[in-house]
């Protein structure tokens, strides 16, 4: 029998702003809000609902590709999916369960927690990253993982030891990492000459070992970079020809290849697993299943890499890409020397962590390490952090314990591999790592506050000096310290920043016309750290806000009403601050823009309602007399018409469709462009709600309303969120086929079939 393992490494780095706790808008990801959202839409979701089409381009089935491929979802990515796409998470977990039912072993494996380069990490941090990754996996998949994907497949003997100690049984590497194979004789397999159709034993120290698979470099390379995924037949031919006498073809690539880097590659995979594997008598399997049948019989010895630091799949020098100017990831004339000082700066922060733990917890190293490893349970709120704190209670307060552990956590986040992967320190990824480093320093400062300890400030000064040595390739961008000061320092996101957000919300509220406002606000950075602020809004002039702020100690208790005299007494000594809309993040600016100018918009809306009926009569006149109005006039008319037509649908629902369609037709004939996005978004939300209701209730009358909605959008050339609608309808169709949804009357069945046709499904045999 011939087996195929196709592994997808699905991963995104932690993207949350550590000071605000949310992902900010990333302009480079447009039109999506951020890269997580964009790649989810282009890759992760399509692979869970991959279309299989007939000869007419109609959907005959949807494949959950995760049922057939081996895969890992990085913890920081699957956490995001769990928060934003419950349906997608469900499909991923279902796929793993179905693979267990089919093979006895699940397709999913764990990943190193936040994708740090393990060979460059301290030994205790290796274990933390592995343990946290395993915990995250078990939390979602409900089982333990025998395998682990290593960040950039980076490994050395210490990493092997850590994997073994944590119970990991296998991993996947690049064939270029293999040096020798030992059996009866020793064979040099450098240059990807190793047989990738079987697993090997990889030994660390003192007899510790894990099984390793080496992926087929040539097919994996073709999939990732040579557009092999444009045709399932091309893919099948390439895989078929790779077997020869081998029983296994093993492929591994970044999962983002299947849809993000190669559009519609998910459909190629779906077709391949639906048809080609059966024609070629190939069984899709996963690593653990294959190991259960064919355990390792030979030993492999890896290259040691530059400086004997280890090897990886994306650096020909070993792991130098994440610490030096090795040339990987760059081009001629590009200086990558910034990488070394950036890592050196984070190493200063990491050394400070050891001093913090030694200063505040008089424990053995084993106890400290165990505490770090167990903290992941508190991160996910699976235990109360106070349970972990118990053994520390004789040394530090609970609040100090949280500061200590959070400082350590963010020091690990600063090592996320993406910070060094690309060409310059001015990119989003290294700046994000610097933000995590600053948050780590922030908690450290809180921990040592009012204590006779100087090493935190000393470390921070050394950290800044080291960042200055990390020079950008863009002269106008100076060095890493420039970006740290500009975008990463906690001062940029201080309490004043949060107060600014609060004040602008106040200015946009019903009290916007009052010149003096008394306010109070509670600020929380963690469950423990919180402060209160009180102040007076002195003036509110357009987009400029002037206000006085007085910081209040944590234990200050507010009554139902603030004593005005107390507020004034405090504010006499307070400072006046001037804040601007530009000082807020783009997300917040966008959210506040409408409310800040709400009254002005209402005035414009009233004016448009007065003018529009008169100008509406001109549409017919223009059409009857073949008159094309001036461009500026048409643009103004279109701008007026769009919100008015949307309002008609909001107020009257489907009863307004005919009138709105007639208006849109007249406008088009007169050459007037009306933006449809507001109308289509409104109706799109209604369609999504109705489809979910149809799925949950099976009420046949919903299909009639859905048909009216979809026909209205289609007939008026409005954009339709087909992916979302098709995904939900597919689930409805499966319920119908299984008999869980029944339509008794012929007209109900006809309506259901018509709905399916409109959503591009082949309903011929329904």
* pLDDT digits 0-9 by tens, 572-584: 554 555 555 566 6
In CATH terms, 2-14+25-308 corresponds, of 3.40.50.620, 3.20.110.20, 2.40.30.10, 2.60.40.420, to 3.20.110.20
Coil, strand or helix at 682: helix
Look at 626 and 409; give whichever has higher pLDDT: 409
φ/ψ of 65, rounded to 5, equals -60, -25
Residue 284 clears pLDDT 90, i.e. is over it: yes
CB atoms within 10 A of CB 437: 28
∠ CA 337-343-344 to the nearest 5 degrees? Answer: 95
> Is residue 109 within 8 Å of 92, Cβ to Cβ?
no
pLDDT score for 663: 87
pLDDT score for 599: 73
Residue 717 clears pLDDT 80, i.e. is over it: yes
∠ CA 194-200-201 to the nearest 5 degrees? Answer: 135
pLDDT score for 588: 65
Where does 12-85 have alpha helices with state H?
Answer: 35-39, 45-48, 75-84
pLDDT score for 541: 43
Among 16-25, 75-84, 222-231, 325-334, the range with the most confident prediction by mean pLDDT is 75-84
Helix axes 339-360, 455-467, angle to 10 degrees: 170
Residue 570 clears pLDDT 50, i.e. is over it: no
Residue 242's pLDDT band, with cuts at 50, 70 and 90, is very high
CA separation for the pair 655, 173 (Å, rounded) = 61
Residue 113's pLDDT band, with cuts at 50, 70 and 90, is very high
Nearest to 91 by CA among 734, 737, 757: 734
pLDDT score for 42: 96
Sheet containing strand 209-214, edge to edge, reads: 170-173, 209-214, 200-203, 299-302, 178-182, 186-188
pLDDT score for 375: 96
Residue 537 clears pLDDT 60, i.e. is over it: no
Which residue shows structure tokens 């070992």? 209
Torsion sign over Cα 21, 23, 25, 27: positive
Characterize the bridge pairing of strands 517-524 and 530-541: antiparallel
Domain ranges within the chain, ordered by starting residue: 2-14+25-308, 323-491, 494-586, 598-675, 678-758
Bridge partners (DSSP) of residue 212 are 171, 200
Nearest to 216 by CA among 7, 71, 457, 512: 7
Among 214-228, 285-299, 439-453, 668-682, the range with the most confident prediction by mean pLDDT is 285-299
pTM of the model: 0.88
pLDDT score for 520: 47
Which residue shows structure tokens 């339509």? 743
Look at 751 and 532; give whichever has higher pLDDT: 751
pLDDT in tens, 457-482: 999 999 999 999 999 998 887 899 99
Residue 24's pLDDT band, with cuts at 50, 70 and 90, is confident
Nearest to 752 by CA among 762, 743, 740: 743
Nearest to 190 by CA among 180, 203, 202: 180
CA separation for the pair 119, 122 (Å, rounded) = 8
Characterize the bridge pairing of strands 2-10 and 248-254: parallel
Cβ-in-10-Å burial (0-12, 13-18, 19+) of 293 comes to exposed
CA separation for the pair 323, 698 (Å, rounded) = 58
Look at 228 and 609; give whichever has higher pLDDT: 228
Give CA separation, 273 vs 57, 62, 98, 569, 679, in Å. Answer: 19, 12, 15, 74, 40
Distance from first CA to last CA of the chain, Å, rounded? 37
Average pLDDT of every residue of the chain:
88
What is residue 484's DSSP assignment? I
Coil, strand or helix at 549: strand
Nearest to 759 by CA among 718, 716, 734, 725: 725
pLDDT score for 294: 98
φ/ψ of 80, rounded to 5, equals -65, -45
Cβ neighbors of 656 (< 8 A, separation 6 or more) are 648, 649
Residue 29 clears pLDDT 50, i.e. is over it: yes
Look at 506 and 607; give whichever has higher pLDDT: 607
pLDDT score for 222: 94
Torsion of CA 315, 318, 323, 325, to 10 degrees: -60
3-state helix, strand, coil in the chain (%, to 5): 55, 15, 30
Look at 332 and 113; give whichever has higher pLDDT: 113
Residue 20 clears pLDDT 80, i.e. is over it: no
């Amino acid at each position: 029998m011939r087996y195929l393992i196709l592994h997808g490494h699905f991963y995104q780095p932690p993207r949350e702003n550590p000071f605000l706790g949310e992902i900010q808008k990333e302009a480079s990801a447009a039109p999506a809000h951020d890269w997580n959202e964009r790649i989810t839409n282009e890759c992760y979701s399509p692979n869970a609902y991959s279309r299989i089409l007939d000869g007419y381009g109609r959907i005959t089935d949807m494949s959950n590709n995760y049922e057939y491929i081996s895969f890992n979802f990085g913890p920081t990515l699957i956490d995001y999916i769990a928060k934003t796409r419950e349906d997608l998470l469900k499909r991923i977990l279902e796929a793993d369960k179905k693979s267990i039912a089919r093979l006895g072993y699940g397709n999913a494996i764990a990943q190193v927690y936040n994708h740090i380069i393990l060979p460059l990490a301290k030994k205790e941090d290796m274990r933390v990253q592995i343990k946290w990754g395993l915990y995250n996996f078990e939390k979602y998949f409900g089982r333990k993982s025998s395998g682990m994907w290593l960040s950039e497949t980076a490994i050395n003997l210490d990493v092997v030891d850590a994997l073994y100690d944590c119970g990991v049984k296998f991993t996947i590497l690049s064939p270029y990492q293999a040096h020798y194979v030992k059996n009866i004789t020793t064979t040099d397999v450098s240059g990807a000459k190793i047989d990738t159709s079987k697993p090997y034993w990889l030994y660390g120290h003192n007899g510790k070992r894990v099984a390793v698979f080496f992926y087929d470099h040539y097919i994996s390379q073709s999939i990732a970079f040579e557009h092999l995924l444009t045709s399932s037949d091309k893919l099948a031919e390439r895989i078929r020809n790779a077997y020869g006498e081998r029983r296994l073809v093993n492929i591994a690539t970044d999962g983002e290849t299947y849809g993000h880097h190669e559009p519609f590659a998910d459909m190629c995979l779906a077709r391949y697993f639906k048809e080609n594997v059966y024609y070629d008598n190939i069984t899709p399997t996963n690593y653990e299943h294959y190991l259960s049948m064919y355990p390792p019989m030979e030993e492999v010895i890896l290259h040691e890499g530059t400086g004997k630091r280890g090897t990886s799949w994306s650096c020909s020098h070993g792991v130098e890409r994440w610490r030096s100017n090795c040339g990987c990831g760059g081009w001629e004339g590009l200086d990558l020397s910034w990488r070394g000082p950036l890592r050196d700066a984070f190493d200063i922060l990491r050394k400070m962590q050891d001093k913090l733990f030694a200063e505040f917890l008089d424990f053995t190293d084993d106890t400290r390490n165990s505490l770090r490893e167990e903290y992941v349970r508190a991160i996910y709120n699976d235990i109360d952090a106070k349970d972990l704190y118990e053994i520390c209670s004789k040394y530090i307060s609970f609040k100090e314990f949280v500061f200590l552990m959070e400082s350590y956590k963010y020091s690990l986040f600063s090592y996320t591999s993406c910070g060094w992967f690309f060409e310059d320190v001015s990119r989003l990824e290294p700046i994000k790592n610097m933000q995590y480093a600053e948050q780590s320093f922030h908690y450290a400062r809180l921990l040592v506050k009012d204590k006779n300890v100087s090493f935190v400030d000393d470390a921070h000064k050394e950290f800044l000096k080291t960042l200055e040595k990390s020079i950008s390739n863009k002269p106008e961008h100076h060095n890493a310290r420039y970006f740290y000061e500009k975008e990463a320092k906690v001062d940029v996101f201080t309490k004043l920043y949060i107060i600014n957000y609060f004040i602008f919300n106040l200015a946009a509220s019903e009290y916007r016309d009052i010149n003096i406002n008394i306010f109070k606000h509670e600020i929380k950075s963690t469950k423990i750290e919180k402060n209160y602020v009180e102040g007076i809004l002195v003036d509110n002039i357009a987009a400029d806000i002037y206000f006085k702020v007085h910081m209040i100690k944590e234990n200050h208790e507010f009554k139902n009403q603030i004593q005005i005299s107390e507020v004034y007494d405090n504010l006499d000594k307070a400072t006046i601050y001037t804040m601007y809309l530009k000082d807020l993040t783009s997300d917040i600016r966008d959210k506040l823009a409408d409310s800040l100018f709400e009254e002005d918009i209402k005035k414009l809306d009233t004016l448009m309602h007065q003018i529009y009926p008169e100008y509406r009569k001109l549409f017919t006149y223009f059409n009857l007399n073949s008159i094309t109005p001036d461009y500026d006039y048409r643009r103004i008319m279109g701008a007026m018409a769009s919100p008015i037509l949307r309002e008609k649908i909001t107020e009257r629902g489907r009863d307004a469709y005919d009138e709105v369609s007639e208006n849109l037709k007249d406008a088009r004939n007169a050459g007037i462009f009306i933006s449809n996005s507001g109308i289509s978004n409104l109706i799109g939300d209604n369609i999504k709600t109705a489809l979910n209701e149809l799925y949950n209730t099976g009420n046949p009358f919903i299909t009639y309303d859905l048909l009216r909605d979809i026909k209205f959008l289609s007939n008026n050339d409005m954009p339709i969120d087909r992916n979302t609608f098709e995904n939900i309808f597919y689930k409805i169709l499966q319920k119908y086929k299984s008999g869980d949804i029944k339509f008794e009357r012929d007209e109900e069945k006809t309506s259901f079939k018509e709905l399916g046709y409109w959503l591009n499904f082949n309903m011929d045999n329904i």
